[in-house]
């Protein structure tokens, strides 16, 4: 697989057509960077291929990891990762999720991580996607909480 960026293969103005609509390649790249969670993907051969480059990532990623076997990237838990990927490949499992406290870096939080088998429309295994979210991001900032009901939402007055 080539190391080229999407913008090197297609014009940033190229439109990507999805089942649910169409969007310019450059806009899609920008949207992915704004998502309040991070994602990664390894292909059907367990090669790490892509990650979202969101600011404030929970898991640091290096561009040098792209194209490497995912088991080499996680030597301390390689046997667990291998079992998970084999379960995805064989169809024994389609997803796996867990929660854990963030224990490194400056930020704290309750981390949610989900691994998802990616399959084509015929059920063929294409790889594994992971999604990681710091759930504390959804608690509000500086003691300000989000409204619990639509009525509370409607009652919020804009700041002047």
* Across 59-68, 105-114, 125-134, 139-148, least confident range: 139-148
pLDDT confidence bin for 70, thresholds 50/70/90? very high
Does the pLDDT of residue 137 top 70, yes or no? Answer: yes
- 148's tokens: 């619990």
Q: Summarize pLDDT for 80-117 with one digit per residue, the tens.
A: 999 999 999 999 999 999 888 877 666 677 889 999 99
Q: Which domains does the chain have, with CATH numbers?
A: 1-34 (no CATH), 37-155 (3.30.450.20)
Count of CB atoms situated within 10 Å of the CB of 70: 23
Does the pLDDT of residue 143 top 70, yes or no? Answer: no
Query: In the structure, how many helices (H) and strands (E) does the chain have?
Result: 5, 7
DSSP character string of 26-46: HHHHHHHHHSSSEEEEEETTS
């Amino acid at each position: 697989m080539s190391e080229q960026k999407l913008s090197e293969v297609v014009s940033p103005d190229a439109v990507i057509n999805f089942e649910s609509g169409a969007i310019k390649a450059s806009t899609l790249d920008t949207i992915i960077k704004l998502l309040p969670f991070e994602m990664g993907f390894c292909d059907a051969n367990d090669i790490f291929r892509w990650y979202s480059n969101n600011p404030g990532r929970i898991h640091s990623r290096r561009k040098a990891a792209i194209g490497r076997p995912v088991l080499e990237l996680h030597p301390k838990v390689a046997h667990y990762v291998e079992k998970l990927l084999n379960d995805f490949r064989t169809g024994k499992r389609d997803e796996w999720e867990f929660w854990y406290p963030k224990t490194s870096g400056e930020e704290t939080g309750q981390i949610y991580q989900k691994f998802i088998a990616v399959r084509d429309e015929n059920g063929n295994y294409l790889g594994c996607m992971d999604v990681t979210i710091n759930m504390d991001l959804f608690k509000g900032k500086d003691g300000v909480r989000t409204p619990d009901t639509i009525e509370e939402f409607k009652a919020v007055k804009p700041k002047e």
